[in-house]
Amino acid sequence: MAWSKLKQNLESFLCPALYGRVEYRATSYRYLPDKAGNCYISVDKKNVFNMSDRTTLIRWYQTELEIKNDSDIQLPINNEEIEVVRKETKGKVPEDRLQVIARSRKLSQYAKEIVTAQSSLSKSNFTVVATKFLSTPIEESLKSDDILLNILALVDRRVGKKRILNMNEEMKLKHPVVQYFYELRLRTL
């Protein structure tokens, strides 16, 4: 699909409050056929999301340790996770340490998911993912591990106010760029 048609289709699905604020842009290299163009998403004329540029407004994590040491990441720990640790340690660990161990395990898992999603995103092609978004149900895009599919779904008009408000807890577990677009959508409600 040609870029102009793809852009038109994506923009036709934007929620009315974000129309004109969120833009899909692309650069291309006319005389370098083997050089792929660069696609990005801008909000209020600022480049917010560019898959190949790490200098955008959103924090990109390089290692698992950066994610573990980021104080902005708050993952809720439930009783089942503490019970799993208690059973594995056979009750030999003090109560206060159980929560620390459970949180550390959850952060490790979260960090692996984030770094994996970022690495797959940097290798992916914007137009391929956008075309996939246009042909799949919105529920699949929201639940996907693909960062770009999550973003496209969050700014979509088919995702209503009630669904956006009910996604608060699961958005805490998403990449910061997905959280940015979630907050942007919340402000438009």
Q: pLDDT digits over 158-171, tens only?
A: 999 999 999 988 88
Domain match, 84 and 9 both: no
Query: What distance in Å separates the CA atoms of residue 77 and residue 117, rounded to the nearest whole number?
Result: 22
36 found inside a domain: yes
166 in any annotated domain: yes
pLDDT greater than 90 at residue 37: no
Radius of gyration of the chain (CA): 19
Long-range contacts of 128-135 (CB under 8 A, 24+ apart): 130/6, 130/10, 130/24, 130/39, 131/1, 131/6, 133/10, 134/6, 134/9, 134/10, 134/13
Within-domain flag for 7: yes
Domain count, the chain: 2
Q: How far apart are CA 44 and CA 27, in angstroms?
A: 18
Residue 140 and residue 57 share a domain = yes
DSSP class of 36: P
Residue 175 lies in a domain: yes
Answer yes or no: is 44 within a domain.
yes
53 in a domain, yes or no? Answer: yes
Q: Which domain holds residue 34?
A: 3-62+116-187
Burial of 183 (0-12, 13-18, 19+ CB in 10 A): exposed
Q: Comparing 64 with 189, which gets the higher pLDDT?
A: 189
Q: Are residues 12 and 82 in the same domain?
A: no
Percentage of the chain beyond pLDDT 70 is 85
132 lies in the same domain as 52: yes
Q: Are residues 96 and 108 in the same domain?
A: yes
Q: How confident is the model at residue 27 (pLDDT cuts 50, 70, 90)?
A: confident
Are the beta carbons of 52 and 38 closer than 8 angstroms? yes
- The stretch 23-38 carries a mean pLDDT of 66
Name the residue among 28, 57, 29 with its Cα closest to residue 41. Answer: 57
Q: Which position has the higher pLDDT, 120 or 133?
A: 133
Higher pLDDT, 83 or 91: 83
Same domain, 121 and 110: no
Q: Is pLDDT at 36 greater than 60 in this prediction? A: no
Q: Confirm whether 67 is domain-assigned.
A: no
> Do 56 and 104 belong together in one domain?
no
User: Which phi and psi (to 5°) does residue 48 adopt?
Assistant: -100, -40
Confidence band, pLDDT 50/70/90 cuts, at residue 21: very high
Q: Tens of pLDDT along 59-75? A: 667 777 787 888 777 77
**Residue 57 confidence (pLDDT) above 70:** no
Residue 138 has pLDDT above 90, yes or no: yes
Angle at 161 between CA 155 and CA 162, to 5 degrees: 130
Q: Are residues 110 and 120 in the same domain?
A: no
pTM metric for this prediction: 0.70
Task: Name the band, by pLDDT with cuts 50, 70 and 90, for residue 30.
Answer: low
pLDDT band at residue 123, thresholds of 50, 70 and 90?
A: very low
